[in-house]
């Protein structure tokens, strides 16, 4: 049999558990708050056709002579969600000489000059522009029969 003190202690414990249980239930209450946002994205596509159905993967300039200027048109599309400037540079030059074992000039890349009509143009999100790129071959080019290089098109966030 439980003594009066034990019964009193048991009653206090039950009351404490009930009170604590109520407090815990109030502390665990939540209110949902919706959250949305946009992440800045920057990206571009380069198309060989005005309808944007063929991606441009290579430019073949064909056979050029000293003094020639060749041109190609492609379409540059900003597929990001922010304004961006566009630019380009040329890297990974490789040359072949006219004759086997002939020496290609150390400044060979200076005989081939690339240009285009959109340097630092601000391209809006989802805008597509026609870009005309030109390759000018110096009349002084010597001992070079073939070249390969990479045209890097850069798109950079406008600040």
16 found inside a domain: no
24 found inside a domain: no
What is the average per-residue pLDDT within 148-155?
92
Helix spans in 28-153 (H):
none
Average pLDDT, the chain: 84
By CB atoms closer than 10 A (0-12, 13-18, 19+), residue 135 is buried
**Distance separating alpha carbons of residues 40 and 157, to the nearest angstrom:** 9
In the numeric block, the tokens 């009351």 are attached to 15
Identify whether the C-beta of residue 120 lies closer than 8 Å to the C-beta of residue 104: no
pTM here? 0.74
pLDDT range class, residue 12, cuts 50, 70, 90: low
Q: In this predicted model, what pLDDT tens digit does every residue of 102-112 receive, in sequence order? A: 788 889 999 99
107 found inside a domain: yes
Query: Among 73, 70, 91, which residue's Cα sits nearest to residue 135?
Result: 70
pLDDT at 25 > cutoff 50: no
121 found inside a domain: yes
| CATH code of residue 90 | 2.60.40
In the numeric block, the tokens 């020639």 are attached to 68
32 found inside a domain: no
18 found inside a domain: no
Identify whether the C-beta of residue 64 lies closer than 8 Å to the C-beta of residue 137: yes
Find the domain containing 130 and state its range: 44-157
Q: How many domains does the chain have?
A: 1
151 found inside a domain: yes
98 found inside a domain: yes
């Amino acid at each position: 049999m439980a003594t009066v003190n034990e019964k009193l202690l048991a009653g206090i414990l039950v009351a404490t558990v009930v009170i604590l249980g109520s407090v815990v239930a109030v502390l665990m209450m939540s209110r949902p708050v919706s959250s949305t946002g946009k992440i800045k994205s920057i990206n571009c596509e380069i198309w060989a056709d005005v309808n944007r159905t063929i991606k441009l993967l290579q430019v073949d300039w064909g056979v050029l002579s000293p003094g020639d200027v060749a041109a190609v048109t492609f379409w540059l599309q900003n597929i990001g969600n922010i304004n961006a400037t566009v630019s380009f540079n040329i890297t990974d030059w490789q040359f072949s000489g006219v004759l086997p074992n002939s020496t290609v000039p150390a400044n060979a890349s200076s005989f081939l000059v690339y240009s285009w009509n959109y340097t630092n143009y601000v391209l809006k999100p989802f805008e597509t522009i026609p870009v005309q790129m030109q390759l000018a071959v110096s009349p002084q080019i010597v001992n070079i029969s073939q070249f390969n290089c990479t045209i890097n098109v850069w798109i950079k966030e406008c600040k």
